[in-house]
Amino acid sequence: MNNHPESEKLVDELQNQPYEPMVAAEIWLVSLSLITGISILIILALVLKN
């Protein structure tokens, strides 16, 4: 079996993912997605109901 250093690094990463705090851009992306998504679904549901 060969041992690729890159694979060793990846296995280590998967098992012990280094702590990488969420930055502002990620928080914005997730929050905006959820708020926009839920709002659009409510609007679509209301339009369909009427």
Partner 1 sequence: MQKISFNEDRSAVWLAFLFIALALCLPLGIGNLLGWVLGVKVWTDPFTALAPLGKSFSSMPGWISLIATLAFIALLLLWERRRFPENKKAFLLALLIVLTLTMIGWVLGHAGIVAAVPNEREKLGLKWSMGLTGEAGYLAALFIGLIIGNFFTPFAKFLSQAARTEWFIKTAIVLVGAGVGLKGLEQANLAGTVFFRGLAAIVEAYLIYWALVYLLARKVFGFSREWAAPLASGISICGVSAAIATGAAIRARPVVPIMVSSLVVVFSVVELLVLPFLAHAIIPQEPMVAAAWMGLAVKTDGAAIASGAITEALYMAQGGFQKGWMLMTTTTVKIFIDLFIGVWCFILACVWVYGIDRKPGDKVSLKEVWDRFPKFVLGYFIAFALFIALGLCFPEKIKDLKESSTNLDAFRKFFFALAFFSIGLSADFKRLWQEGLGKLILVYVVCLFGFVIWIGLGISWLFFHGIMPPTGVTP
Can you say whether the dihedral through the CA atoms of 39, 42, 47, 50 is positive or negative? Answer: negative
- Enumerate residues 6+ apart whose C-beta is below 8 A from 7: none
**Residue type (1 letter), 35:** I
19 in contact with partner 1 (CB under 8 A): yes
Tell me the closest approach of the beta carbon of residue 50 to partner 1, in angstroms.
Answer: 13
3 in contact with partner 1 (CB under 8 A): yes
**Residue type (1 letter), 27:** I
Please report, as ranges, the residues that interact with partner 1 according to CB under 8 A: 1-4, 6-8, 10-11, 13-15, 17-20, 22-26, 28-31, 33-34, 36-38, 40-41, 44-45, 48
